[in-house]
Amino acid sequence: MIPTVLTLSDAWVALTQSGAAVLPDAQSLLWVRYAIWSLVLPAGVLLLGRVWAHGHALEPRDLRRWLWPAGGVAAWAWVPGDWGISYWLGLSFQTPSLVSGLLAITLLVHPSAQRSVCVSPWDRVYAIGAVLLGWVLLLDTFAVFPVSLYSWGFDPSTYAGLWAFALLPWVVSGRAAWRARGPWQLCAALLVFGLARWPSGNVWDAVLDPCLWLVLQALAVRRLRAR
């Protein structure tokens, strides 16, 4: 049997045909789930630790006590089977989005970023857009709209539209966009999605997930209450 070779022209046809959904490699999905959960969970623990320390007026060095729980959940995320936390979280939330993974890396590498996720006007614009997108996709699950908006995530035109939205800050504000984290994270997520189609082959799942949506809504409510 002669093995089938996917040429560049074949890949371009598959990406440009709206009816042909390009799905990720099934063998890599399990490792991708472990990897992203092992980033998102410890970042969430450290973020909760900073919120707790802020509420109790503790010093930043007191946050070191949260490193052990963060490392513990990161290791637990790699445990296979039903003994691992990734298995149970995957039943409800599947795999976190690529944006969540990149945001987790930002929080882990730059501890100062834990003070505020939205540090620039463009970050706030992206956060508001993600909250609205989450509500639209939630209503779409109840078949409120005449068409399936989630299925648009398999369409290459939606992928191109998100690229236009990701590059909009540089077009509008130029150098000011370099200080925003949101545009960089969205561009990186779209680039990885275009190469590997993680995590589900649907671009909506690459840029947003239920956990990230809930966190952004909580931050929005907190900001409104502060005002």
Would you say residue 17 lies in a domain? Answer: no
Domain hosting 63: range is: 24-226
Which of the two residues, 60 and 166, has the higher pLDDT score? 166
pLDDT at 152: 94
Phi, psi of 201 (to 5 degrees): 90, -10
Range 18-39 average pLDDT: 80
pLDDT at 172: 86
Report the distance separating Cα 120 and Cα 87, nearest Å: 35
Range 136-165 average pLDDT: 94
Q: Is 137 within 8 Å of 208 (Cβ atoms)? A: yes
pLDDT at 20: 58
pTM assigned to the model = 0.82
Structure tokens belonging to residue 23: 């799905």
For residue 200, give the DSSP letter.
Answer: T
pLDDT at 1: 39
For residue 84, give the DSSP letter.
Answer: S
Domains of the chain: total: 1
Q: Is 97 within 8 Å of 199 (Cβ atoms)? A: yes
pLDDT over threshold 70, residue 119: no
Concatenated DSSP letters for 137-170?
HHHHHTT-SSS-TGGGGGSHHHHHHHHHHHHHHH
Range 122-151 average pLDDT: 92
pLDDT over threshold 90, residue 62: no
Give, in order, the Cα–Cα distances in Å from 15 to each of 53, 55, 115, 154: 48, 49, 40, 9
**Nearest in space to 193 (alpha carbons), one of 15, 7, 13, 5:** 15
pLDDT over threshold 50, residue 6: no
Report the distance separating Cα 145 and Cα 25, nearest Å: 31
pLDDT at 74: 94
Q: Is 73 within 8 Å of 155 (Cβ atoms)? A: no
pLDDT over threshold 50, residue 33: yes
Would you say residue 14 lies in a domain? Answer: no
pLDDT over threshold 90, residue 82: no
Q: Is 36 within 8 Å of 95 (Cβ atoms)? A: yes
Would you say residue 10 lies in a domain? Answer: no
pLDDT at 92: 84
Would you say residue 16 lies in a domain? Answer: no
Structure tokens belonging to residue 93: 């939330």
- Return the amino acid letter for 11: A
Q: Please tell me whether residue 22 adopts helix, strand or coil conformation.
A: coil
Range 25-33 average pLDDT: 83
- Average model confidence (pLDDT) for the chain? 82
- How would you class 73 by CB atoms within 10 Å of its CB: exposed for 0-12, middle for 13-18, buried for 19 or more? middle
Would you say residue 170 lies in a domain? Answer: yes
In sequence order, which residues have a C-beta less than 8 Å from that of residue 88 and are 6 or more positions away?
82
Would you say residue 19 lies in a domain? Answer: no
Q: Is 145 within 8 Å of 190 (Cβ atoms)? A: no
